[in-house]
Amino acid sequence: MQGSSSWNNLKLRMSYGVMGNDGVSNFDYLTGYNISSGFYLFNGQPYPIISSAGLANRLISWETMKIANIGLDGTLWDGGLGFELDVFYRLREDILALPDSDIPFHFGASLPRTNLNSRDNRGFDLMLKHKGKIGNLSYSINPMVSYSRGKFVKWEENILPTVGVDEATALANAEYNRRYVLTGNWDDRQWGYETNGFFTKQADIDNHPVDIDGAGNATMIVGNLIKVDQNGDNLIDWRDQVVIGQGGLPKWNYSTNMSFKLKNWSLDMLWQGATGYSITFGGSSGPWSHSGHQSVAKVFAFENRSTLAANGDIDILRKFPPVFTTGGAPEIDNTASDFNRVDAMYVRLKTINLAYNLNKSFTDRLGLDSVQLYVAASNILTFDNLGVYSGFYDPEIVSGTAGGGVDRAYPNNKTVTTGIRIGF
């Protein structure tokens, strides 16, 4: 930039585009019939069952995707500092859905899917670049951070009225809408019960003022979760559910690429991490895994289990409930809660490489162009907030194979390699 001793470059970028998504139904615009594998008998002869495939929608169309982006790039002090910032917004409209609102329940046909729904994403990417030199040491540091999150802008659903009805109905409808309505809300909300530990004594169950099991706590036993009564009605039901997580897709991703050179030595590192997501530990990875009849629990599950005294109360209190005879989590506890869920974050040394280049005078005598000795490693160091699960599970893996949980996931390998690179 002319007239500035600091700025070398400053560029503003803006873009806007509209595109179609054809990954929708292929034949919803056609009517037709379904032929069932069953049959009816008439005069001893089988006849196949043929039924209508439902109404057709000849006005069906692709989804529409609108994307807006604003970017700003800059360089200062002859490359001493650079940055790239992108802010984006993406709107998906005309998503196919079955009409649900304002349709009489006695309507006598299967409705076609229609372009009704819309959802969006917004976020930003920021990358910084810095390089410098201190004596014989030259270095560069390039951190990056990104954020993205989506909402249901308009969703075909049954939203109960809160205006034009009596006060009791309005309050009940507002509570239903809070829990179940998607329109206008984030698309990654995970619902469940907030807990306050678990019962350690039978006397605590007998004197607990909140009905957790709907039977005056008659079925509750020591070790069952203490669910929090959010609305103060002394009864635990769906009205006490709150947002307990953000789904398994990280909202924040960050990394830093670092490089250092001092004479013949060089060091390169990549730090990487994420946060803004939740991991649920269930199955053989969860706090009830030691109670399973078929699964084999991890060692840490036994090390963190509470133990019972002869009178049935807990005498050694640890992180997890005692062993149950229910073949896993008791039914009353087998609902989504924050007890076995962690709002995760981690920072990992993804790769590191240390190298030494032999002097040019030495390699020339060998008739070689270059010789480099190096040692490299990946995934050797991780910092996370998984608590008792840390070290047993990889925070980067939130689901396992074949639809299983993290207990079925194969962790990232830690590798260390060393060698010699020879240039001819």
Q: Give pLDDT tens digits for 371-409.
A: 889 999 999 999 999 988 888 888 888 765 444 456 666
Task: Decide the pairing of beta strands 190-192 and 195-198.
Answer: unpaired
Please tell me the predicted confidence (pLDDT) of residue 6. Answer: 82
The secondary structure of residue 411, as a DSSP letter, is P
In a domain, 166, yes or no: yes
**Which of 135-162 are b and which e, b meaning 16 or more Cβ less than 10 Å from the residue's Cβ?**
eeeeeeebebebbbbbbbbbbbbeeeee
Q: How far apart, in whole angstroms, are the C-alpha atoms of residue 424 and residue 422?
A: 7
Contacting residues for 230 by C-beta, under 8 A, at least 6 apart:
194, 239, 240, 241, 242
Residue 295: closest CA among 308, 309, 306, 281:
281
For residue 184, count other CB atoms closer than 10 A to its CB: 11
Specify the residue for token string 């984030």. 186
Which pair of tokens denotes residue 327? Answer: 């073949």
Is residue 337 domain-resident?
yes
- Residue 40 belongs to some domain of the structure: no
Q: Is the pLDDT of residue 352 over 90?
A: yes
Burial class (CB in 10 A: 0-12, 13-18, 19+), 424: exposed
Kindly report, residue by residue over 239-271, the tens digit of the pLDDT: 999 999 988 899 999 999 999 999 999 999 999
Q: How many structural domains compose the chain?
A: 1
* CA-closest candidate to residue 205, choices 307, 339, 321, 313: 313
Give the lowest-confidence range in 134-143, 186-195, 305-314, 407-416.
407-416
Please state the rounded mean pLDDT for residues 168-176.
94
Residue 218 amino acid letter: A
In sign, the C-alpha dihedral spanning 362, 368, 370, 374 is negative
User: What does the pLDDT read at residue 401?
Assistant: 46
Whether 47 is covered by a domain: the verdict is: no
Query: Is 49 within the bounds of a domain?
Result: no
pLDDT for 98 equals 85
Is 55 inside any structural domain?
no
Range of the domain at 238: 7-18+61-423
Mean per-residue pLDDT over the chain, rounded:
88
36-40, 276-280, 413-417: which range is least confident on average?
36-40
- The SS3 of residue 216 is coil
Express as a percent the part of the chain with pLDDT over 70: 93
Integer Cα distance of 9 and 11 in angstroms: 7
Instruction: Tell me, yes or no, whether 28 lies in a domain.
Output: no
Q: Which DSSP symbol is given to 140?
A: E
Percentages of the chain per state (helix, strand, coil), in multiples of 5: 15, 45, 40
Task: Give CA–CA dist 322/304, Å, rounded.
Answer: 9
Q: Are 67 and 89 in contact (CB under 8 A)?
A: yes
pLDDT score of 222: 93
Phi, psi angle pair for 250, to nearest 5° = -60, 135
Give the whole-angstrom CA distance, residue 114 versus residue 236. 38
Average pLDDT over residues 224-228: 95
Task: Kindly state whether residue 175 falls inside one of the protein's structural domains.
Answer: yes
The pLDDT of residue 285 is above 80: no
